[in-house]
Amino acid sequence: MTNKKQYYHDDVVKRLVEFSVVWAVLGMVAGVYVAAELLWPTIDFGQPWLSFGRLRPLHTNGIIFGFGVSALMATAFYSVQRTSHVPLFAPRLAWFLCYAWQVLVLAGGLSLLAGYNTSKEYAELEWPFDVAI
């Protein structure tokens, strides 16, 4: 029996948690702003990208895909290593997934601000983003 210390890949988990917190803050700020628009409709200063119809899908998708999925990936990467007592099989793939997901969520959010959506509740992203997700 050896006393070899097990090495886990926790850096990618920490980064996903950091991204999750960032998306949570951004999504909640967008939600508060959207709620303020219900009280003060002229708060968007006539800017179309600040309108309720563009920010509400940004809020919901930011929370669901940015915060929620990033937290779920962090949880999966953490718990799989601990329950199986082995490090990640392909840590570089985990890092790629971490950053590719963030780029995808950011690009999807920018497309929503630009007004490109499918007008479906909680499935507003256009088809290239739907396919990627």
For residues 74 and 17, the answer to whether their CB atoms sit within 8 Å is yes
Per-residue CA distances from 114 to 28, 50, 98, 105, 126 (Å): 20, 10, 25, 14, 12
Mean pLDDT is highest, among 5-9, 74-78, 121-125, for: 74-78
Structure tokens at 68: 């929620």
Amino acid 120: pLDDT: 78
Distance CA 89, CA 81 (A): 9
Reported as a single tens digit per residue, the pLDDT across 54-63 is 999 999 999 9
H-type helices in 1-132, by residue range?
Answer: 11-39, 52-61, 70-84, 91-113, 127-132
Percent above pLDDT 70 for the chain: 95
Reported as a single tens digit per residue, the pLDDT across 69-100 is 999 999 999 999 999 999 999 999 999 999 99
Amino acid 24: pLDDT: 98
Amino acid 18: pLDDT: 98
